[in-house]
Chain A
Amino acid sequence: MSGIVCAIRGGPESQSPIRHAIQLAQETGETIYFVFVVNLDFMTMTASSRTHILSDQMRQMGEFILLAAQDQAMQEGVQATGSVRHGNVSEEIIALCQEIEADYVILGRPRADDQPNEFDIARLESFIGQLELQTNTRVVLADRGEPA
């Protein structure tokens, strides 16, 4: 197996990684594996006991976001699938790369503004190092998309 892993959350920030993934898939002929990771850490300080309700709703929302990305890819003539996973974002991306023996992983660049983001630059560099160490995947950083 091989393919291109593209981790997205949805929103305008994800457009750039999606476009990169589509372009790369067109060049290589590989399948895109869009991945959305459900992480409910934000509930820990407010409504931690309600995570059971939200988990399923977030999965459905993630599937919908991935479906929109798949739809976009297929309109460009590219084969794409989607996968919603639960847990730590870094660990889940690495796990998917290992499972499908991905050739590429497309990540968005961190935002420079004060908006919350999974990775700041230091964490991203650390994650890329970890990814390359544990998998044989090449990391491609996509430029930022249009701000929300």
Chain B
Amino acid sequence: MNLLPALPVILFLAGAIFTLLFHPHRTMQRLISLGTCFFALLASLKLARLNWQGLKPILRFGDWEMPFGIIYVADPLACIMLITTAIIGLGTCIYIWSSLKREEEHLYFHFFFLILLAGVSASFLTGDLFHLFVCFELLLMSSFVLMSLGSHSDQLEGSIKYVVLNLISSFLFVMSVGVLYSQTGTLNIADLAQKIPTLASQNSWILISGIMMLISFGIKAGMFPLFFWLPASYHTPPAAISALFSGLLTKVGVYAMIRIFPLIYFPLSNLFQKTFIIAGLCTMVIGVVGAVAQNQIKRILSVHIISQVGYIILAIGMQSQLALAAALFYTIHNMIAKTNLFYISGVIERLHQSDDLSKGGSLFKYMPYLSLIFLISALGLAGLPPLSGFFAKFFVIYAAAEQQRYFVIALALAVSVLTLYSMLKIWTFAFWKPADIESEFYLKKALDDKSFRRSLIPAYLVTMCFATLILCMGLFANHAFEWALNASDLVSNPSKYIDFVLGAKP
């Protein structure tokens, strides 16, 4: 039993326990978080390298024979997601030095942060449906705590909706797992992909389980009729936590869709593809229209998550290998760009004591570098060349053109124009517009304070690195997309995935 595929999860869990041991010491906890994320990144890179060499990093817990027992499968898709998770974890670790208040950090932030990362990594790695449910609960539980960290009244309001709706989603998921098990007698994803086509093709129980799973992941990802918890809750916690959530949580739902639906349910009935495409289009449009109507930076960004998820769901619905690779590329791009925008919104919030667009302004005059970083991330999100968002959208549209879905293309382009509009809205109001005298006075006073300026350095560092990542992902889009294609190869061809998992030598 080679423990390497579980190493990121083990590291995060161990780190979490160590932060508990050092609880009152802030610096020690920060160092532990930072080290854990760094080593988890190294472990994920090592796993990706093993894939590159043609090995199959699969861990069978307790050495059970293959379709039995829980397995961790570090295939290329899981590795890419793990690397991005570790990068976002690393970024957040550094970012909180300049963003999180001392009392918030004191409420076991680091412990729950690392547990959240452990849950996210484990749900990327697992090859077993019930274990996926357990990982979901692990990450949900810690996200509940993080969301209500500090218990401000708006946080509590947001948390209640978030908690109740996500619990319902988990219940639906576990029910659907139960139904699948009663029909097939297995929980291993590869084994399910193998067994389901051999069952009666119109087995309505499996269809029902698929619909329940679609609703469950739809709630988690923020899909069209099920997203209402997201704009009500994501903007309430401190910016560092919002950034972490926007990068990881909805994307776990999206990942579960990419992993499970093409393998298990798409071969069963084309009902699912149609639902994905229609829901994706509606999500895209409603998300962006909702974002245009908002007037606070964090609210704009959190409503925006929905629209971005729409693109990914749309791409999953188109099902071809190219479309799934586009979905993956889009997911990675969005994780980084969105997280970075939330980081920047946190800095703006600290400079102006509020993220309301009507109160801010003048940031371009006083903070030219921050403005540049914001512009790169925002235009990257909106999809201007040569940034990563352009290629992400380009691949989605290319996949749609390949299947002659011209309506989809028109809508995708219209949505990206509106995205650009809402990003430019933040740019104009927060950066370009001269602030009113009172807020300009406070801004100047804050910037004159040496220790305040010094406290912003970590945030600068992180946002700069992420902006560089966005730029690099755009400039080297061909390489990045090659990896995405390589990863989606296993997902879009069930036979290859089955061979990858079940054909592995013990």
Answer whether A and B are interacting partners. Answer: no
User: What is B's interface to A at a CB cutoff of 8 Å?
Assistant: none
Chain A interface residues (CB < 8 Å from chain B): none
